[in-house]
């Protein structure tokens, strides 16, 4: 198969994003190439204006503030309860998309030795990433202690996993600002962050997660027919560290 004309990242801020580099690394493993793009856009109007300059198929990771808008503007539906997307694919003029934040978080947790099944996650926030993580964590048999931040975690497929107290195995502040923003300290055996900035390394949890959710995007959206040929998460992180 051929790759798209373009692949990359859309949203704001994105100058620190490793996504275009990850596209290049995974693409090289599969023998695919494309032109990498950084589409800075803080609104759907700006996003569509910038896309007018690009002709052909395109694969994009989407970050804030664009995770909700594509559902209505591009007629792409997010998973139940999550109601947001972070991966987009334009092929032959038709958009498709999905959310890989949750499955990427679970894969990253397993990479650092935290098994969701039977574990308690203390989680601050209620936005799209929080809902995706809650859905995936609950599906894997984990429990969640939600903490209200800028937004409350609304009801969803994770309701049966919600508990009010307990010793958390893992904590995450999803209200930390993008680009490496500081997290609030939360009570848990271990705390991680999914916000990274310039200078982040392949040993940082946030980088592990972005690599993990990127692989999930190739598996479920970009090239599902090549899933068996994708690099492992460990191999991708190793190549990322060498690339740096």
Specify the 3-state DSSP secondary structure of 9: strand
Task: List the structure tokens of 61.
Answer: 């990771």
pLDDT (0 to 100) of residue 244 = 57
63 domain-assigned: yes
Same domain, 17 and 72: yes
Whether 57 and 108 share a structural domain: no
Rounded to two decimals, the pTM is 0.92
Tell whether 82 and 156 lie within a shared domain: no
Question: Has residue 88 been placed in a domain?
Answer: yes
Same domain assignment for residues 55 and 115: no
Looking at residue 70, its pLDDT comes to 63
The helix (H) or strand (E) run that includes residue 19 is helix 19-30
- Specify whether 116 is located in the same domain as 162: yes
If asked whether residues 176 and 119 sit together in one domain, one would say yes
Residue range(s) defining the domain that contains residue 19: 6-100+211-243
Instruction: Strand 191-192: give its sheet, edge to edge.
Output: 143-147, 120-124, 170-173, 191-192
| pLDDT value, residue 180 | 62
Is 189 catalytic? The answer is no
**Total tally of structural domains belonging to the chain:** 2
* 59 plus 128 within the same structural domain: no
Per-residue pLDDT of the chain (244 residues; tens, 9 = 90+): 678 999 999 988 777 889 999 999 999 999 999 999 999 888 888 988 988 889 999 999 988 777 665 667 777 877 777 888 899 999 999 999 999 999 999 999 999 999 999 999 999 999 889 999 999 999 999 999 999 888 899 999 999 999 999 999 999 999 887 666 688 899 999 999 988 877 888 899 999 999 999 999 999 999 999 999 999 999 999 999 886 5
Together in a domain, 121 and 92: no
19 in any annotated domain: yes
- Given 29, 67, 89, 94, which residue is catalytic? 67
CATH number of the domain encompassing residue 62: 3.40.50.10860
pLDDT of residue 67: 67
CATH of the domain at 185: 3.40.50.720
Tell whether 201 is covered by a domain: no
Is 136 part of a structural domain of the chain? yes
Q: For residue 206, is it within any domain?
A: no
Q: Are residues 113 and 140 in the same domain?
A: yes
């Amino acid at each position: 198969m051929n790759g798209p004309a373009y692949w990359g990242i859309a949203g704001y801020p994105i100058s620190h994003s490793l996504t275009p580099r990850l596209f290049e690394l995974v693409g090289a493993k599969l023998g695919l190439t494309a032109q990498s793009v950084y589409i800075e856009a803080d609104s759907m109007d700006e996003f569509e204006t910038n896309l007018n300059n690009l002709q052909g198929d395109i694969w994009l990771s989407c970050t804030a503030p664009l995770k909700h808008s594509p559902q209505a503007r591009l007629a792409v539906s997010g998973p139940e309860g999550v109601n947001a997307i972070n991966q987009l694919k334009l092929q032959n003029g038709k958009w498709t998309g999905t959310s890989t934040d949750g499955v990427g978080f679970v894969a990253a947790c397993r990479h650092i030795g935290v098994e969701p099944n039977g574990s308690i996650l203390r989680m601050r926030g209620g936005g799209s990433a929080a809902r995706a993580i809650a859905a995936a964590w609950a599906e894997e048999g984990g429990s969640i202690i939600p903490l209200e931040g800028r937004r409350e975690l609304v009801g969803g497929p994770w309701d049966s996993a919600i508990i009010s107290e307990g010793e958390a195995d893992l904590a995450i502040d999803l209200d930390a600002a993008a680009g490496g923003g500081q997290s609030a300290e939360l009570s848990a055996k271990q705390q991680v962050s999914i916000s990274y900035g310039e200078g982040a390394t392949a040993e940082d949890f946030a980088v592990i997660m972005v690599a993990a959710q990127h692989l999930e995007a190739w598996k479920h959206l970009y090239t599902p027919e090549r899933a068996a040929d994708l690099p492992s998460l460990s191999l991708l992180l190793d190549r990322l560290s060498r690339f740096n």
